[in-house]
Structure 1
Amino acid sequence: MNADRLLSSFLDLVAVESPSFHEAPMAALCARLLADLGFAVEVDGSAEATGSDTGNLIARLPGTAPGRLALAAHLDTVMPCAGIEVVREEVAAAEMGPAYEPDGPALEVLRSAGATILSADDKAGIAAILEGVRSAMEAGAPRPDLTVLLTTCEEQSLLGASALAEGALAWPAGLASGFDGAPGGRPAPGTPLPCYVLDADGRPGTIITGAPCHWTMAAEFSGRAAHAGVEPEAGASAIAMAAAAVSAMGLGRLDERTTANVGVIAGGTAVNVVPASCRLEGECRSLDAGRALAQRDAMTAACERAAAALGGAVEVTWALDYPAVLFDDDAPVVARAAAAARAAGLAPRLARTGGGADANVLGAKGCQAVTLGIGMANFHSTDELIAVRDLEGAARLVEALIAEYAG
């Protein structure tokens, strides 16, 4: 692993603005870098479904030994991401969160100057993939068939990964493969492709064994408008219905696997008008699909009871944004990630998260997908940062995964 080259690559990626739906410049840069490494690169047709200005990027490099491996990250970022200025400085270990000993030595970090995000989420993941692959190739060690997947619109409830066509990640029949001529030949049809998604907080070596399903709710309350000063009795307040519904819901952390939230409420036209309409938007998440369904039904029932009690009506709709992903701690795809972490000089740590990542939907796309920590901290904020040692650790981990899956 070339630390200077890794840092330069990360800074080049950060310099390209790529908010969700506008990832085309980033995709073009990554396509060129992967092609320079010998990958066959394609952009899929998902843009029509996602509304992005580009599709997902899928790149393949034939192996020199039997085995196959996919590495994934996402092209898009949250905002503000225009004109990112990177500052390199030392910070106290306590600022890095619980992954570091609070009284440990100061750490060299990369952070934004303060007006924007840093975009380590997920450009640190992309930089680690590029450097890890490049280093493995320079070492001349055996490598498996490699697939690199860089998705669009991940920050928009995983739209890009969700829009991958059936069979999009299958190895093309006309492309050379490390399996060619190997005993037993190619894997049996339907064998999941091991895939590691570099897109989680937690120091490199963190292996996410569980992430929740995510349901999104929209509730449209209908009441009756009336003059609030002259004849309020003639009205039925849709805002009051929504408020009563929210107060009756179980929200926040409901158990160790389940959370729920109402994040948007909007309605009314003027202070002197009893509001005839109000919209609630919310969500529920759980590692347990049945528990998520029960919470979904409870939130719907709270809306319906509140509307009926206050003389109105409500229409509640739910959408499943992505399913849960859950692995046993001793699952082979987890164990091999842990082995690679140890080979890279990292401490394996199994964890579960309350957030989703592309791994949540890649399981339905022919993959056995696990999300890995890359060390980003305070992401989705202007305080975002990443320790230089963690950026380097993520690249070493990619190189070690390639070695782990060769043969």
Structure 2
Amino acid sequence: MMINAERLCRVFEELVVIDSPSMEEGAVCLRLQTIFSELGAQVYVDETREKTGSQTGNLIAFFMGDVDAEPIMLSGHMDTVEPGRGINPVLRDGVYVSAGETILGADDKSAIAIIIEVMRTVREKNLKICPVEVVLTTCEEKGLLGAKALDISKLRSRFGLILDSTDVEGIVTKAPAANRFTFRIYGKAAHAGAQPEKGLSAIQVASSAISAIKLGRIDDETTCNIGIFHAGTATNIIPDLALIEGEVRSHNLARLEEVTLEIVSAFERSVKTARDSSPDPDFPFFEKELIRDFPNTDIKHDHRVVKLVQKAAYNQNRSMDTVTVGGGSDANIFFEKGIAAGVIGTGMKDLHTTSENVSISDMVSAAELIIEVLKIHSSGEPLY
């Protein structure tokens, strides 16, 4: 085994105790700049902080390599979700957990620790490899903001791997696009007991629309959810405002737009129906905000990044299946911008909960896989 598991663990422990909730990645970014510079990379932090609102920009570390081969990207994100302050990692039977009422931070600091250990191993073993471009983003957990703001023209790689998944025996090649919507229904307030006739319930109008919408799994490629509904201030006041927020996701872009339009139409019909019988022709009325949250990922199964990972896994007597998921990641943004980045796992489990955990063996396995990927790509050996 080439990977130094003890060293990998030390780095992981060091990183997770540095608080870095989304927007507050400054301290961990400074530490990573030092680490990658000491490893011989050309390191810079981009200027995306003004767009994302983070303390810092995305970190890019470029290793020149010794082989004339196309650069490969290795990527993860620096931010964590809450509760992510004062993390105390504890090792139990080879598995890291959080000791307190916090997440562990393996999402995604297990990825960063793995990448650092890979590049240290390359240097220590004097491996002759291709150029490697490490891209660590900010605000991934806030809507992929760092990746969205990243100027891809400044990167040298056009394919690579993102370490941001649980499955150590799968590479994510297909993920949906998503539209997000915010609707505001304006009715008329009135005393619910004394003068209900003068009121117009925004809740009733919104509920009528929602009842006409199919939620959950729409088909094999499409889902829809309304996750937020705010309305009303007291039980004796007819509510004059209802706020509804939700999303549509689909692997089929045409279907994504079709379902989004159906939802908008359902609300428009409900508002019109209520207005037709309203004593006030100006109420209710409807405001909508539609946001293209993120694009899809659709890496073909014969793409070189897929074949590289599968070849590396084969060489290690492991399986590596292509995986379709229902969530988004930085890979979605990179794909739209011209970088095919398959998502592979570090073994982290129970993400975004205080039960989050990751095993040393899975992190070592992921690091070994990446070393093999780099060796294969650098050697130029056939992938088919």
What are the within-5 Å matches in structure 2 for residues 268-347 of structure 1? 268-311=232-275, 312-347=284-319
Instruction: Tell me, yes or no, if structure 1 residue 129 matches structure 2 residue 122.
Output: no
The alignment partner of 1:133 has SS state of: helix
Equivalent position amino acid for 2:182 in 1: A
Task: Determine which structure has the larger helix proportion and give its number.
Answer: 2
Unpaired runs of at least 5, structure 1 = 91-107, 171-191
Match of 1:138 among 121, 124, 129: 124
Contact 1:344 1:393 in 2 (8 A): no
1:240 counterpart residue number: 204
Provide closer, same or farther for how the CA distance between residues 122 and 148 of structure 1 changes in structure 2, counting only shifts above 3 A: same
Provide closer, same or farther for how the CA distance between residues 344 and 44 of structure 1 changes in structure 2, counting only shifts above 3 A: farther
CA shift for structure 1 position 73: 0.2
What are the within-5 Å matches in structure 2 for residues 361-376 of structure 1? 361-376=333-348
CA distance in 2 between partners of 1:72 and 1:78 (Å) = 18
The alignment partner of 1:298 has SS state of: helix
Contact 1:72 1:196 in 2 (8 A): yes
Contact 1:167 1:365 in 2 (8 A): no
What are the within-5 Å matches in structure 2 for residues 91-110 of structure 1? 108-110=94-96
Greater Cα shift, 136-145 or 73-82: 136-145
* C-alpha distance after superposition, 1:324-357 (max 9, x if no partner): 0012222222111111223345321221111111
Greater Cα shift, 14-23 or 329-338: 329-338
CA distance in 1 between partners of 2:90 and 2:306 (Å) = 35
Contact 1:127 1:395 in 2 (8 A): no
2:279 counterpart residue number: none
2:174 counterpart residue number: 210
Provide closer, same or farther for how the CA distance between residues 398 and 258 of structure 1 changes in structure 2, counting only shifts above 3 A: same
The alignment partner of 2:54 has SS state of: coil
Instruction: Tell me, yes or no, if structure 1 residue 381 matches structure 2 residue 346.
Output: no
Provide closer, same or farther for how the CA distance between residues 350 and 24 of structure 1 changes in structure 2, counting only shifts above 3 A: same
2:83 counterpart residue number: 80
CA distance in 1 between partners of 2:192 and 2:219 (Å) = 41
CA distance in 2 between partners of 1:88 and 1:235 (Å) = 60
Equivalent position amino acid for 1:146 in 2: V
Instruction: Tell me, yes or no, if structure 1 residue 11 matches structure 2 residue 30.
Output: no
Contact 1:72 1:149 in 2 (8 A): yes
Contact 1:114 1:383 in 2 (8 A): no
Contact 1:136 1:402 in 2 (8 A): no
1:195 counterpart residue number: 160
1:188 counterpart residue number: none
CA RMSD of aligned residues (A): 1.4
2:147 counterpart residue number: 161
CA distance in 2 between partners of 1:14 and 1:345 (Å) = 31
Q: How many matched pairs?
A: 368
Greater Cα shift, 359-368 or 149-158: 359-368
CA distance in 1 between partners of 2:315 and 2:111 (Å) = 19
1:184 counterpart residue number: none
Match of 2:73 among 52, 70, 75: 70
Show structure 1 runs of 4+ deviating over 3 A.
Answer: 343-346
CA shift for structure 1 position 231: 1.5
Contact 2:299 2:340 in 1 (8 A): no
- TM-score, normalised by the number of residues in structure 1: 0.88
Contact 1:268 1:277 in 2 (8 A): yes
Equivalent position amino acid for 2:305 in 1: V
The alignment partner of 1:273 has SS state of: coil
* C-alpha distance after superposition, 1:92-135 (max 9, x if no partner): xxxxxxxxxxxxxxxx3111124100111000111111111111
What percent identity do the matched residue pairs reach? 38
Contact 2:61 2:134 in 1 (8 A): yes
Equivalent position amino acid for 1:145 in 2: P
Equivalent position amino acid for 1:234 in 2: K
Equivalent position amino acid for 1:18 in 2: S
Contact 2:12 2:110 in 1 (8 A): yes
Match of 2:220 among 256, 281, 284: 256
Equivalent position amino acid for 2:113 in 1: A
